[in-house]
Amino acid sequence: MGMEPTKRQSKDDAFWQRLVLPEEERRWLRDWEGSYRWFRSPNVVQLERYRGLSVLEDSVTTADHIQADPQAPVTLVEYGDYECPGCGAAYPIVKAVWGHFDKRLRFVFRNFPLTQVHPHAESAAETAEFAGAHGLFWEMHDDLYENQQALGPPLYIELAEALELPEGALIEALEKRTYRPRVRSDFMGGLRSGVNGTPTFFINGRRHDGSYAFEDLVAAIDAELLDVETRG
C-alpha cells in the first residue's frame, strides 16, 4: 500500500521491547558460513547435515498460504524474511512472475525469519500470521514488504488499522507470541529442506539454485511446465 508509518509511540515501552526476541529465547541461530545449529534443551541438534539438500521436505498443504489456483501445475514456494533486503528486492519480481504465468502457477510463502541479523523479522512474520487468521494474510504480506524500512510495532498497528483488523487483538497476539509456533514450524521445515538463507525458492519441490531475477525464475518455471507436460 506504500503508506508512510506514523510516529505514534507506545505508552508501554516495555511491551515494545518484548517484541524483539531476547537472547535467552533464541533457540536457534544462523551461522554465516551456511551451517545451522538448533539449540533444544537438553540436547544440541546439529543440522549441518542438511546442507546441500535440494528437496522440499514439507509438502504444500491447505495449511499453507497459497496464492492463485490450488490446482496449478507448478508451485513456487518461497522461504522469506520480511526484514531481509534480498527478499524485499525479490518481492516485486515474484509478483511479476506470478502475473506472467497466471493460472499455471501457484505461489506459497513460508516464514524464515533470521532474528540474529533481523530483529524485527519474527514480529513481522507473527503480524502477517495474525492477519492470515483474519483472512488477510496476503494483504499484510504485501504491506510489510512495501514498508520494509519501517518494520516495528507502530507500523504493524498502522497497517492493521488500514486493513480494519482489531488493533487490541494484534497487540495481545504479539505480546503473547500467539503465532510464534506457526512461524517456527515454517522455519524448521525450511531447515529440513536445506534452506540456508533468504530468499530461497522451490519449484515443484526442488530448490531453485539460480538467481531470483525475473528471467531466471521464468526460465526455470517454463522448464518445469514443459517437464510436467512431457510426463503427462
pLDDT greater at residue 146 or residue 48: 146
Confidence of residue 3 (pLDDT cuts 50, 70, 90): very low
Would you say residue 125 lies in a domain? yes
Q: Looking at residue 53, what is its pLDDT? A: 45
For residue range 139-176, what is the model confidence (pLDDT) as tens digits? 999 999 999 999 999 999 999 999 999 999 999 999 99
Give the predicted TM-score (pTM) of the model: 0.79
Which residues 6+ apart lie within 8 Å of 16 measured at CB? 10, 152, 153
Task: Please give the average per-residue pLDDT across 124-142, as a whole number.
Answer: 98
pLDDT at 36 over 50: no
Residue whose grid cell is 482489531: 166
Would you say residue 212 lies in a domain? yes
Domain count across the chain: 1
Q: Looking at residue 24, what is its pLDDT? A: 36
Closest to 181 measured CA to CA, from 103, 225, 129, 106: 129
- Domain span holding position 184: 66-231
Q: Looking at residue 61, what is its pLDDT? A: 95
Would you say residue 99 lies in a domain? yes
* Arithmetic mean of pLDDT over the chain: 83
Strand 105-111 to strand 28-30: parallel, antiparallel, or no bridges (unpaired)?
A: unpaired
pLDDT at 107 over 50: yes
Q: Looking at residue 54, what is its pLDDT? A: 81
The DSSP result for 83-109, as a single string, is T-HHHHHHHHHHHHHHHHHGGGEEEEE
Would you say residue 54 lies in a domain? no
d(CA 21, CA 17): 9
> Within a 13 Å sphere around the CA of 73, how many CA atoms are in the beta-carbon half?
14
pLDDT greater at residue 38 or residue 183: 183
Would you say residue 167 lies in a domain? yes
Would you say residue 12 lies in a domain? no
Q: Looking at residue 69, what is its pLDDT? A: 87
| CATH classification of the domain holding 171 | 3.40.30.10
Would you say residue 194 lies in a domain? yes
Would you say residue 141 lies in a domain? yes
Task: Please give the average per-residue pLDDT across 65-93, as a whole number.
Answer: 96
Q: Looking at residue 72, what is its pLDDT? A: 96
pLDDT greater at residue 230 or residue 9: 230
